[in-house]
């Protein structure tokens, strides 16, 4: 596996790796988000805020997402206020159509990390995935922090696969294919 550089990232964007008809942003803006070996992703307009509930969510089993999560639209003038300890699921403004020979890894932007906002590292983007990227963000610091709509919050590093997979993400019984909003955990459905 080798990491894609800025020229290769731009080439894939021009070839349709980001579907701008389904994104909340445009190609010119995204081209400015390219770094030497990563692409910055920006916070989209929907978040899932966890509800205060005593009943346990049992991982891997079906559950009523509306009981545990509140879907909210981010006010572009206010952003998302995170008090210390707060967390939410966000989504990228960018809608991906990952190539069948490229995967991605999502990392917190260092500038966001320096105000102690952490991306929870559930950030592997499989070859063949299509959709927005769900972001798990948490305030690990001691100050209230506002994250504006459209802020660059994470960066994705792309790598070539050594070969095409037998079954890419789109060919499996995938849980998050085509997502446009932040998606809470879903149980596995098998291959």
142-178 residue pLDDT tens: 999 999 999 999 999 999 999 999 988 888 877 788 8
pLDDT in tens, 8-57: 999 999 999 999 999 999 999 999 999 999 999 999 999 999 999 888 88
Tell me whether residue 188 is one of the annotated catalytic residues.
Answer: no
pTM reported for the whole predicted model: 0.91
Kind and range of the H or E run holding 39: strand 39-50
Token pair of 109 as six digits: 């932007």
Residues 6 or more apart from 7 whose CB is under 8 A from it? none
pLDDT in tens, 46-88: 999 999 988 888 887 888 888 889 999 999 999 999 999 999 9
For the domain covering 6-50+67-161, report its CATH number.
2.70.40.10
Token pair 């891997």 is found at 60
pLDDT in tens, 101-128: 999 999 999 999 999 999 987 789 999 9
136, 140, 183, 188: the active-site residue = 136
CB 87 within 8 A of CB 121: no
Q: How far is CA 73 from the centre of its chain?
A: 16
């Amino acid at each position: 596996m080798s990491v894609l550089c800025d020229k290769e990232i731009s080439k894939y964007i021009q070839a349709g790796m980001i579907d701008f008809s389904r994104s909340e942003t445009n190609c010119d803006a995204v081209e400015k988000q390219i770094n030497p070996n990563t692409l910055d992703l920006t916070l989209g307009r929907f978040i899932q805020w966890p509800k205060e509930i005593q009943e346990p969510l049992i991982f891997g089993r079906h559950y009523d997402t509306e009981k545990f999560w509140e879907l909210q639209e981010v006010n572009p003038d206010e952003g998302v206020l995170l008090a210390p300890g707060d967390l939410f699921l966000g989504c990228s403004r960018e809608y991906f159509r990952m190539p069948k020979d490229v995967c991605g890894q999502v990392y917190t932007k260092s500038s966001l990390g320096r105000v102690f906002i952490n991306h929870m590292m559930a950030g592997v983007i499989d070859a063949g995935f299509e959709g927005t990227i769900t972001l798990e963000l948490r305030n690990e610091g001691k100050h209230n922090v506002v994250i504006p709509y459209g802020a660059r919050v994470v960066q994705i590093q792309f790598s070539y696969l050594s070969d095409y997979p037998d079954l890419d993400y789109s060919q499996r019984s995938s849980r998050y294919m085509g997502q446009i909003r932040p998606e809470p955990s879903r149980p596995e459905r098998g291959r």
